Structure 1
Amino acid sequence: MTFAALQSLADRAALFTALRQDALVTATEELGDHRWDADMTAGTITFTANADPSRQIVTHAHLIATIAPGPRSLLWAWAHPQGAADGLASRLRAHGLEQGIAELFDPELPFPADASGDESWIAASAHTVGGAATEITGRAPYYSAPIGGGTRAVFLLDAPLPDLTVAAAVIALPRILSGLALPDARTAVWDLARLAGWNLTWADENYTGATVVDASGSARFRFDEQARIVGFDGSLGAKA
């Protein structure tokens, strides 16, 4: 387990986050073998094809947090020397103050006492932070960047990616769902629709299913009594 209070937020946004991360991976894979470079002064992360440096994806990068093994702590960007007090990360602080979530408004979080704090734990925590930031800000994708000494920085990116449509989700979700554990899939579907700006209709008062719709098509989810997804299908084409 990483930071428990942040994990619950990340779990809500898990489907939306996974789809936006998938879109980023698809875009960077089209570059082939590539590198990434951060320019903290310009506030950018650029992905560049090694075979052809003219092929790039330039993103506006918002530092959210750093997670370091030395002090065994997470430092929010609004309290970081290279962060901005009024940057995007300040929205997490405001949410924490409003909701009484100390993990979001304390400037530095120590690792949980039972945390290994090793490379894999820090990488998992970075994904938790990215998911929580997506849930609160509605912005995605994020990027977990290794910056030396085992430390990772988490950025939310304004990337030149297509908007997330139902049609795109219908294509990607069967593959994504096969490898994604959702503690509460019903809530994750509801939050996917909220964050993507789709219309959602529940099948009945017991929430045994949900249909999401936008101009590109519709998708139907079916849930069992434990809120797990047990069926998914979609229909493409403009909807009235």
Structure 2
Amino acid sequence: MTFAALQPLADRAALFSALRQDSLTTALEDLGDNRWDADMAAGTLTFTSNADPSRQLVTRAHLVATIAPGPRSLLWAWAHPQGDPAGVAAQLRDYGREHGIAELSETELPFPADAAGDADWITAAAHTVGAVAVELTGRAPYYLAPVGGGTYAVFLLDAPLPPLTVAAAAIVLPRILSTVALPDARTSVWDAARLAGWNLTWTDESFSGATVADSTGTATFRFDERARITNIESSLHPQA
């Protein structure tokens, strides 16, 4: 556990976030060994192939927060010297104020007293913050950028990635679900449909299944009594 008050929001977006992170990973793997460069003035994060510098993935980057081991704190981008007070991160602040979540609306968030605060903890905390930002803004994927001294910057990216269709998700879901823990899979499926713009219908009044659909096909998720996914049945449409 990193920031307890933020975890429910991150859990809700866990499936959608994982699918979008997978899309980013695939795009970066296509570049091969690569480096990233941030241009804060231009608001871009650029990934460049080391073997062929002409091959790049250029993204619009929105700073969400920085997490630093020295002060043992998270600093939200709307209060950061290199952040935008009216930028994307302000949506998190406004949500926090509206819903009484001080961890989102306070300028700086100290690590919990019992937090290890080491590299693994900071990485986990950065993933939590990234997923929260996805949940509250609808933007994805996010990127964790090491900026020196053990500090990570969390960015939301507007990247030239293929849209997340039901067909695309159905292909990678078995692999994704083997590595991602979903504390409430039923809610995560509902939220993924919301964020991806899919249609969702429950199969019965006990919510034991959900069918998501778009122009590329359908996928039906089956859940057990603990809201865990037990099976996925997909029917995909031929694409021109």
TM-score bucket (shorter structure): over 0.9
Q: CA RMSD in A?
A: 1.0
> How much does 1:233 deviate?
1.8
Quote the offset at 1:53 in angstroms: 0.2
1:110 equivalent in alignment to 2:110: yes
The CA deviation at 1:108 is 0.3
Tell me the CA shift for residue 110 of structure 1: 0.3
Structure 1: which 5+ residue stretches go unaligned? none
> What is the SS of the residue equivalent to 2:179?
coil
1:236 matched to 2:221 = no
**Aligned partners of 1:8, 1:56: CA distance in 2, in Å?**
35
Q: Is residue 18 of structure 2 the alignment partner of residue 25 of structure 1? A: no
The structure 1 segments of at least 4 consecutive aligned residues displaced by more than 4 Å after TM superposition are none
Per-residue Cα deviation, 1:142-191 (whole angstroms, up to 9, x for no partner): 00000000000000000000110000000010100011111100000000
Give the AA of the match of 1:45. Answer: L
Structure 2: gaps (5+ residues): none
TM-score (norm 2): 0.98
Equivalent residue pairs, number: 239
Task: Using the TM superposition, give the Cα deviation of residue 44 of structure 1 relative to its aligned residue in structure 2, in angstroms.
Answer: 0.6
Is 1:97 aligned to residue 97 of structure 2? yes
Q: Deviations over 1:82-118 (max 9, x none)?
A: 1010000000001111111100000100000000000
Residue 8 of structure 2 corresponds to 8
Partners of 2:53 and 2:189 in 1: how far apart? Answer: 39
Q: For 1:123-134, what aligned pairs fall within 5 Å after superposition?
A: 123-134=123-134
- The equivalent residue for 1:81 is 81
Name the CA distance, whole Å, in 1 between partners of 2:5 and 2:221.
27
Alignment partners' CA distance in 2, 1:205 and 1:213: 19
Where 1:30 maps in the other structure, the secondary structure is helix
Trace 1:1-240 onto structure 2 (pairs within 5 A): 1-237=1-237
In structure 2, how many angstroms separate the alpha carbons of the residues matched to 1:200 and 1:232? 14
SS in 2 for 1:58: strand
Question: Which deviations, in whole Å up to 9, do the C-alpha atoms of 1:40-62 show, x marking residues without a partner?
Answer: 11111000000100000000000
| Alpha-carbon distance between aligned partners in 1 of 2:235 and 2:109, rounded to the nearest angstrom | 45
